[in-house]
Amino acid sequence: MAISGNPKKTAQDVRDGFMTISPPQLRNYSPQDMKIMLANLAMVTRELRMVAVPLDDIMALKKKNMQLGRLRQTETVIRSFCKKKRIPV
């Protein structure tokens, strides 16, 4: 099954907490789709890390760290699924 919609938008939805990726969902995707998802997650992560947040704004720091955590967790889920199924990514 191909990725529905824009993969970058999917990564942004994961970042904002509107979407989560789980191993049962990943069974529907091809290895090429998973590579595209990982590339877009990395792109959104880089964009988020470029955002400068003032150190005195605790809520903005917390929001940024939560978004980074969501992206990293999704990347870990995809990579562990690929490792378990012996899919090279």
23-32, pLDDT tens digit by residue? 999 998 999 9
- Indicate whether 60 belongs to any domain: yes
- Indicate whether 2 belongs to any domain: no
CA separation for the pair 89, 69 (Å, rounded): 21
- Indicate whether 1 belongs to any domain: no
The total of structural domains in the chain comes to 1
CA separation for the pair 52, 41 (Å, rounded): 19
- Indicate whether 16 belongs to any domain: yes
The domain of 30 spans: 7-84
Task: Say if CB 65 and CB 45 are below 8 A apart.
Answer: no
Residue with tokens 């789980």: 22
- Indicate whether 54 belongs to any domain: yes
| Percentage of residues in the chain having pLDDT higher than 90 | 83
In this prediction the pTM is 0.89
- Indicate whether 18 belongs to any domain: yes
